[in-house]
């Protein structure tokens, strides 16, 4: 997975909104559909792109697949930006 794919995934506002939604914890596809005025197919498409980009991971629990933020990839991205602004050390302290 490349950072190029990751940034492409992040360029879409609905996908960023899905990530923000997952901030409070894992959700299944239907729970995500319920929060947006878009179809199941569209949500599935966005989830697939976010997953390929490494931004979310899925976890099958019984008959549902739950999606959650991939914090290790998000931390890597934060690290990259922080290194640009010279805040790498502060970031790594936590």
Q: Which residues bind a copy of itself (CB under 8 A)?
A: 3-4, 7-8, 10-13, 16, 19-20, 22-23, 69, 71, 74-75, 77-78, 81-87, 90-91, 94
Listed in sequence order, the residues at least 6 apart from 41 whose beta carbon sits closer than 8 Å to its beta carbon are: none
Least Å from the CB of residue 2 to a copy of itself: 8
Q: Least distance in Å: CB of 77 to a copy of itself?
A: 6
Compute CA distances 47 → 37, 61, 72, whole Å.
Answer: 15, 17, 18
Strand-pair category, 27-28 with 64-69? antiparallel
Query: Shortest Cβ distance from residue 59 to a copy of itself (Å)?
Result: 18
């Amino acid at each position: 997975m490349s950072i190029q794919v990751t940034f492409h995934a992040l360029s879409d506002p609905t996908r960023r909104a899905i990530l923000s939604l997952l901030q409070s914890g894992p959700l299944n596809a239907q729970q995500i559909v319920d929060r947006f005025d878009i179809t199941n197919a569209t949500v599935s498409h966005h989830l697939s792109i976010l997953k390929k980009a490494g931004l979310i991971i899925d976890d099958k629990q019984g008959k549902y697949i739950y999606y959650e933020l991939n914090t290790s990839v998000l931390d890597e991205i934060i690290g990259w930006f922080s290194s640009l602004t010279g805040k790498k050390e502060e970031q790594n302290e936590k």
